[in-house]
Amino acid sequence: MENYVIESSKVIPHWLPGGDIFWYQLKLPGSGHDSVLVNALKATRQGGFAEDTLGQEVERLMGRWIDLKSLTEGDMEWNNPLDNANLKGRFLNTEVASPYAASEVSIQFLNRCSSPVTIEWIDHSCEPVWRGVIEVGKIGHFTTWNGHIWRIHVKEDPNLKVLYAAPKEEDKDAIVIDDNLLRGEDGARKSKNDTGFPLISIRNGTVWSTYEDGDEQILANNDSETELYDEERIYISPDRQFAVIWQYTPEHDHKMHLVESSPTEQLQPKVKSIHYLKAGHQVRVDRPRLFDLSQRKEIPTDDALFRNPYALTNVGWNKSGEEYRFIFNERGHQHLRVIGISVHGRVRVLVEESTKTFIDYSTKLNRHLISDTEEIIWASERDGWNHLYLYDLRQGVLKNQVTTGNWLVKAVSRVDEKTRQIWFSGCGMVKGQDPYYAQLARINFDGSGLTILTDGNGTHSWKWSPDYRYLIDTWSRVNCPPEVVLRDGNTGAKILTLQESQLARLADSQWNAPEIFSTPGRDGVTMIHGIIIRPANFDANNKYPILEEIYAGPQGYYTPKAFSNYSWYRGWADRGYVVVKLDGMGTNWRSKAFHDVCYKNIHDAGFPDRIKWIREAAATRPWMDLERVGIMGTSAGGQSAGAALIHHGDFYKAAAADSGCHDNRMDKIWWNEQWMGWPVDKSYEDASNVFNAEKLQGNLMLIVGDLDDNVDPSSTFQFANALNKAGKIYEMLLIPGGKHGCGHGQYGQMRQADFFQRHLQKKQQFSCI
């Protein structure tokens, strides 16, 4: 019943020309299908179509027969006036309006030109819609509809362009855009430089400028092996009078060595070495340098505002070519700046972020550049919540805060530069609802006109019609199957229900729903949200051991919010446990203060909130046994599972730690320096399971694979070594050939089931899954 409800609630629309009518297919029990035809303009929904009857109805609506060879997404052929027999995309000679299309596809363009290219979508009125800029050597990824038209042109010269019609099916290969393609159909490269401007190249570390008359000159000579020029980071001004070229010092060449103990193709073990930077290692250091191409010389610039970078991100030249811009992320992630370098060599700050903890660059660096008005929409947590701000880049000043309130912007979905409106995914926008539930909202650039377009007490996902006039809104909760509603794309007003929630049918089938539970955390105020999953044969008269599945990585939140069968959690519950999942302080997508708990404090993992939550849930649920609490986790969750017995061994009695990073100095640089800071200090030692191994209480199972290239397997071995020296008893499972998360394989799951059965259910007999 559960699988039927989930599958038959999915609405994948196939829009017909005109943009008011679409059809979708429902999966019925067994192998049956039902096709539904929707007229958004008339607010009608007709179901029960078989393949032939749907084709007849479509012929009546469209005035011509459509061959419906398949009812799966991506197979409809009536919407593309181009060569529909060709499943690949194609280049066009003439610019035409994008047709109304049947299915979404993803495309990617690889820029092999000598300068950045601008990407524009040609809308249904044959008007270009700016979608981004792809720098030299980079790939741009876009979501579109089959047959939609895209214009790719040199950023500073729209006449050098090519037109591309998206394919009917996703093409995983990147579409290569090079100078030959942009200069004409014959693709012939001219034998000499007749662009009227110099061409920049890097040969053997030396920067060369080649001029119209064939003359070549060295712009910068470099004999150093540590100060190199990057041939993929050459940014030429729109008038081609200036160029910024990035010089860099390479990152530390640090290898992680893995020993494959049991290779399949030979008897003897093999050694595999991979490049792997860890916290504290030397990163690549970039330094943009400015050149005057007409004067054939470098213009000196001061790097005081962007020394000690963790990374720089190109923004590009402004439209007038007066200033080059980039983002500076300082090592330690406490300062973030948008920096401008004028053609005169002046360096200034345009946007600046500063914090005493960390700037969440890895999940919240959300920006949208508006080239024509030299503005940028910028995400920041400066007021305690992740919100949008509008900056004037000409003056380098804040114009206004766009969104505000005790809720946050999770992602920007769409920006209309003409109407100056933003569509975004927001969390915590509806008072009284779970603050993690996502809503779609719209707001004007000046902060006025905030409108929530979705409705329903649950988390939302949505699909737009090709012209954005209509919105298909799907919402659900873990204890409520999806409801799907067609809405007006501008106002959010409900047009009609496409699929009703089938909660009543599940209730009639005695469905064992996950239970949502919330209670204040350690501060007595901030609500902590989680779920409880009981066994299928649950008996309220019994007492069940509690098993928590933990992942507390600060990059996200992890308690499920949308409806699903959650078979993995249920599988563990059906072995005789009450399974709990929750997000404590230190995880993401709440307030800045909520998130900051993790700073230099990874071992906290929200445990004060978790333990309080479990105790308060059990206070009104006598079938939850607080004397038998276990915990399991993978990766960062493996680190937390180990920490549970080190710092809270009086509460947790057994822990299975799979592929854990047990010392943050042993793990990947970006993740650990983002949350633990730089330089590496005593906080890394304090958070280390290895350093604190002597504090271990309870029953621990360590799981590791010898081919884990995500978290160094030595992290687990060093933890084991420290436990040995401390005289601690524990179990260890080494899986030959195992990669990251190998404990989730069949054998790993079997061994964990046996481990928890022995230590939480007090059953000695080995149990297989």
From CA 713, how far away is CA 732, in angstroms rounded?
13
pLDDT over 90 (residue 50): no
Smallest Cα–Cα separation from 310: which of 671, 635, 681, 682? 671
Count of other CB atoms within 10 angstroms of residue 232: 11
Smallest Cα–Cα separation from 453: which of 471, 469, 465? 471
pLDDT level of residue 135 (50, 70, 90 thresholds): confident
Chain centroid to Cα 736, Å, comes to: 31
pLDDT over 50 (residue 709): yes
Between the CA atoms of 189, 195, 197 and 200, what dihedral angle is there, to the nearest 10 degrees? Answer: -10
pLDDT over 60 (residue 261): yes
Task: Quote the percentage of the chain above a pLDDT of 90.
Answer: 69
Per-residue model confidence as pLDDT tens digits over 180-223: 787 653 332 233 334 456 788 888 888 998 877 778 889 988 77
From CA 624, how far away is CA 576, in angstroms rounded?
11
Per-residue model confidence as pLDDT tens digits over 104-124: 788 888 887 877 888 988 876
Q: Of 166-180, 225-239, 485-499, 641-655, which gets the smallest average pLDDT? A: 166-180
User: Which residues, listed in sequence order, are joined to residue 162 by a DSSP beta bridge?
Assistant: 152
Note whether 90-182 and 514-760 share their fold.
Answer: no
- First-residue to last-residue Cα distance in the chain: 24
Q: Of 364-368, 382-386, 578-582, which gets the smallest average pLDDT? A: 364-368
Region 571-598: mean pLDDT is 98
- pLDDT attached to residue 186: 34
Rg, the chain, Cα only: 29
- pLDDT attached to residue 211: 79
**Where are the chain's structural domains?**
2-78, 90-182, 514-760
Region 608-628: mean pLDDT is 98
Q: Which CATH number fits domain 90-182: 3.40.720.10, 3.40.50.300, 2.60.40.780, 3.30.200.20?
A: 2.60.40.780
pLDDT over 90 (residue 177): no
Q: Which structure tokens are listed for 610? A: 């978790």
Q: Which structure tokens are listed for 40? A: 């958004």
Q: Rounded mean pLDDT of the chain? A: 89
pTM score of the predicted model:
0.85
Block residue for tokens 């504290």: 280
Q: What is the CATH number of domain 514-760?
A: 3.40.50.1820
- 508 or 284: whose pLDDT is higher? 284
Per-residue model confidence as pLDDT tens digits over 671-693: 999 999 999 999 999 999 999 99
pLDDT over 50 (residue 767): no
From CA 382, how far away is CA 592, in angstroms rounded?
8
